[in-house]
Amino acid sequence: MFGLSNFMRVFVTGADGFLGSNLLRELKSRGHEVVAFLQKSRSHEHIEEFIDEKQFGDLLDPKSLIDSTKNCDAVIHTAANTDIWPPRKEIVRRVNIEGSKNVVRAVQENGIKRLVYVGTANSFGPGTKESPGDESRPYAAAKYGLDYMDSKYEVHQFVEAEAKAGRLPAIIVNPTFMMGEHDSKPGPGEMLIGIYHQKAPGYSPGGRNVVHVKDACVAIANALEMGRIGESYILAGENMDYKELFGLMAEIVGSKAPTKAIPGWATVLFGTVLSGLSKIFGFRPSVSREMALISCDTNYFTSKKAQEELKMPQTSARIAIEDHHRWFVEHDYYNKK
């Protein structure tokens, strides 16, 4: 158990995000004391009841992190800048690389017993349904040219190296595409909203892995006391091609599923044209060239290692999407502009 007690004082970055707000609920259900690292400029009303203590600061302010993490037993670093437009963006690299290194330094400075760094499954190479990607596959997302993915991989390597050198008591978890309740931004639920309003003209030839956010949170909370230092764990669920995924989403939300198969070349051409026009006229493209490229690939993964070592549960994509949909209906997200 690495010297950790059953009930811990846990510091959480990104506590007000989709993953963070679900994670707070999981931690509190286990009796942990939760310290949330927040920005004063953002609303926190949706997570107030799951926080024992608030600390305000910025990932780019090392002192605020060192001061805020004092007397904590563990740190879970979920915060990241996930913006993928424009594809190259300095603030994305700064927050994800410099900010994460500041978190690591705070852990080291204060002698914290465990860091759980939340990366992304894209730091590993994907596979097929028959042979899904696992933790042994090398990074394959550099071809997309996205600072988000590249920066997350760079930090993944840094945390792993520090841990394997014995300088950092860290475990890395790598979620895939999460769905479930409490997507207040919204984030991944944008896809569900698009299907509800029948905005998808068709489906591309790729696919992705869908994991219930609650399953990811169980694995992350378990990583406070389970797993091996310096190891990475893909947090995956069900692999689905886009025809299957969009069809299931449409069935659940009660809309018509897109039936037109869009060839990869047409998908990429559409994204390329939109990206070019957006640079001229200053709008954010609904589909960028980079997003189009990703949608043509089968981003399939397995969580076999996390199931074995972090006791990660497996909930179906159907239930994850149903939970997401129900929460959106309860909070009237489909009618928001």
pLDDT in tens, 118-134: 999 999 999 999 999 99
In a domain, 44, yes or no: yes
Buried b (16+ CB within 10 A) or exposed e, 244-263: bbbbbbbebbebebbeeebe
Q: What is the mean pLDDT of residues 303-307?
A: 99
Mean pLDDT, all residues of the chain = 97
Helices (H), the chain: 18-29, 62-68, 90-93, 99-109, 147-164, 189-196, 213-222, 242-253, 264-281, 289-295, 304-309, 317-330
Q: What is the pLDDT of residue 5?
A: 52
Q: How confident is the model at residue 56 (pLDDT cuts 50, 70, 90)?
A: very high
Report the distance separating Cα 100 and Cα 266, nearest Å: 38
Rg (CA), the chain: 19
Q: What is the pLDDT of residue 13?
A: 99
pLDDT at 335 over 50: yes
Q: What is the pLDDT of residue 135?
A: 99
Q: What is the mean pLDDT of residues 20-41?
A: 96
Angstrom distances, CA of residue 67 to CA of 48, 79, 108, 134: 21, 18, 13, 37
Residue of 239, 223, 241 whose CA lies nearest to 307 = 223
CATH number, domain of 30, equals 3.40.50.720
Q: What is the pLDDT of residue 337?
A: 67
How many domains, the chain?
A: 1
Q: What is the pLDDT of residue 2?
A: 44
Residue of 127, 306, 133, 300 whose CA lies nearest to 215 = 306
In a domain, 49, yes or no: yes
Q: What is the pLDDT of residue 281?
A: 97
Angstrom distances, CA of residue 237 to CA of 177, 191, 212, 327: 9, 17, 7, 20
In a domain, 266, yes or no: no
Report the distance separating Cα 24 and Cα 106, nearest Å: 21
Report the distance separating Cα 163 and Cα 187, nearest Å: 31
pLDDT in tens, 57-114: 999 999 999 999 999 999 999 999 999 999 999 999 999 999 999 999 999 999 999 9
- The residues, any chain, with a CB within 8 Å of residue 206's CB and separated by 6 or more, are 241, 242, 264, 294, 295, 296, 297, 298, 299
3 state DSSP class of 250: helix
pLDDT in tens, 144-185: 999 999 999 999 999 999 999 999 999 999 999 999 999 999
In a domain, 94, yes or no: yes
Domain that holds residue 130: 9-183+211-237+300-315
In a domain, 166, yes or no: yes
Q: How confident is the model at residue 6 (pLDDT cuts 50, 70, 90)?
A: confident
Q: Which one-letter DSSP state was computed for residue 116?
A: E
pLDDT in tens, 308-329: 999 999 999 999 999 999 999 9
Q: What is the pLDDT of residue 59?
A: 98
Q: What is the mean pLDDT of residues 25-36?
A: 98
Beta-carbon neighbour count of residue 83 at 10 Å? 15
Q: What is the pLDDT of residue 336?
A: 85
DSSP letters spanning 210-249: EEEHHHHHHHHHHTTTSS-TT-EEEE--EEEEHHHHHHHH
Tokens of 188: 């991944």
Report the distance separating Cα 166 and Cα 140, nearest Å: 27
Q: What is the mean pLDDT of residues 277-297?
A: 97
pLDDT at 38 over 50: yes
In a domain, 322, yes or no: no
Report the distance separating Cα 183 and Cα 193, nearest Å: 12
In a domain, 71, yes or no: yes
Q: What is the pLDDT of residue 3?
A: 45
Q: What is the pLDDT of residue 237?
A: 99
Residue of 312, 328, 282, 72 whose CA lies nearest to 189 = 328
In a domain, 90, yes or no: yes
Q: How confident is the model at residue 43 (pLDDT cuts 50, 70, 90)?
A: confident
Q: How many CA atoms lie within 13 A of 154 on its CB side?
A: 17
Report the distance separating Cα 78 and Cα 118, nearest Å: 5
